[in-house]
Structure formats: C-alpha cells, structure tokens
A = this chain, B = another copy of it.
C-alpha cells in the first residue's frame, strides 16, 4: 500500500472521470476519506449505492470542508461557479485541481474564485470513453495515459511541493504526468481531441440529415468507416459544448488549418491528381504506427473490436 497523499479528498461532480479518480485513488491507497458533491440527485443515489464515497452531498461547501485535495470534475464552464461555492469552506493549504479539457480559461476562473490560501493546480487526464455517469468509471482508466498539469507561474516552495504531490497522486493512479503551459495545452488538445470531436460530430450530423441516403442505410452500412466516428460523437453533449466555447480561439485556428488542407485534398480529387492522394495516404500510415509505439493505442486490427470474431 502506498502512503496516503491526501487524508481527505473531495470530488465535485461524480461522472465518468470523477468516479474513475475515486476508484483509482482508492485502489492505489493514496487517499483516506472521500467526499462527493454532485448536483444531480440521481447521481448521488447511485454513488451511495456503489459505495464510492464516505460522504455524499449536494452541497459543495460541505464536501470540500477539511479536504486536502479538491478535484473539480464538472463541465469546464461550470468550474467557476463550483469553485465559488467551495471557496468559503476551503482549508488553507488545500490543493484545488480539475480535470477539464481546457486549461487557460479554467485556470483563470479558479484563480478568480478561490482564496490565495489554497494551491490552484489545473490538470487534465487525457483519458475517457464515450460513456457518462458514475457507473461508467473504472479504476484502470488512467493507466498509461497522460495527465497534463498546468501549474501557475509560481516558484515558491510550498506551491512547488503541492505540484509534486499532485504529480505523485496521478502517478499512483497509473498515469504518466507532464507539465505544460496552459495555452500550449489548449492548442495541443485542440489538435488531438477537440478538432477530432468537432469533425466526428459534424460528419455524423451531415450523414443523419441527407435526403438521398436514409438513416437506416447509414447505420446498416456503417462498417465501412462511419461507425468509428459515431463513437466520439456519442460523448457527453454538455461537456463538449463547454469545451468548444471555452477553447474557441485554438479550436477555430486548428479548424482553419484542417479546412485549408481539406480544400487542397478536394481539389486533388477533382483534378484527378492521384499522386498527391497517394503521398498523403502513405504519410498518415506512419502516424498510426507512432501512436501505437507511444503506447496510446491497441495494435490490433479494428481496435480489437473484432477480437471475438477471429
């Protein structure tokens, strides 16, 4: 059993990520007491049934009272109001972190909301599934996935120690930990997560709205590639609405690059420039190999989804 890093942890918002943090932290033995606050009565009931926490409440202040670590796991545009609700009850010296997919705006919101006596250390575990809610979480979710911390530009020892402790926490949960400037994080994630989701939502929406091809046809014949996109287009709508609104500038910048490239590709098809197509299609194969070599993907064909069919 590892040492307890935080005698009391409060998790605000107990969905896929919040509940996975609890499961992973308990399994690792790095937290003592666990408190959960969630605004949904249905979620609170389920969290109690699952035995995920020592205390389950609808009151954020009650949950964070005496907590050494506060993990905000709500949609990014809800972070500020949740942090404000916590502010008055936070213990001096507590660490306040989050798991949101946008960091610059969330970091500013947290700094505005909470007193200087606590350590604000924004964070983002790059892990998840398309499912939502406390039943969807599991202890292994963060294993071998990266968690990025975007600490404030502070050099004082207590803050640096708090950052190191939080990094140790994520390491104990099985994650690899990186530190990064929050603006760079937001640009990187715009590429590796936000644009992919935007494109997936868009293509599924386009396919659903055609007159010439029915929805039934789209579903029946989806094994030709389309079905892959439906997975991430099934992610939580509130969470993703907030991400696009909170990371607007980076998303629009990367989307602009994508659109430019798509126009060039479209032009190559129109003019029958097979060599250009072949060159691109060969280059992209290497990226797949790199993703697998980086340990971030199953090497099995079709993500292993056909495993039982072989």
Contacts and interface: CB of A to CB of B under 8 A. Distances in A.
A148 to B, nearest CB: 8
Contacts of A226: 191-193, 196, 291
A26 interface: no
A234 interface: yes
Interface residues on A, range: 35 or more
A251 B224 CA distance: 14
A284 B189 contact: no
B192 A218 contact: yes
A11 to B, nearest CB: 20
Given A188-B213, A284-B233, A287-B215, A222 B307 contact: no
Interface of A: 101, 126-131, 136, 138, 140-141, 143, 145-146, 148, 178, 187-189, 191-210, 212-213, 215-235, 237-238, 240-242, 244-245, 248, 251-252, 254-255, 257-259, 261-262, 265-266, 269-270, 272, 274, 277-278, 280-285, 287-291, 293-294, 296-298, 300-307, 309-310
Given A191-B218, A213-B191, A248-B270, A230 B304 contact: no
Contacts of A302: 129-130, 231, 303
Q: Which of A222, A240, A274, A300 has the most CB of B within 10 A?
A: A222
Given A129-B301, A201-B280, A248 B222 contact: no
B145 A223 contact: yes
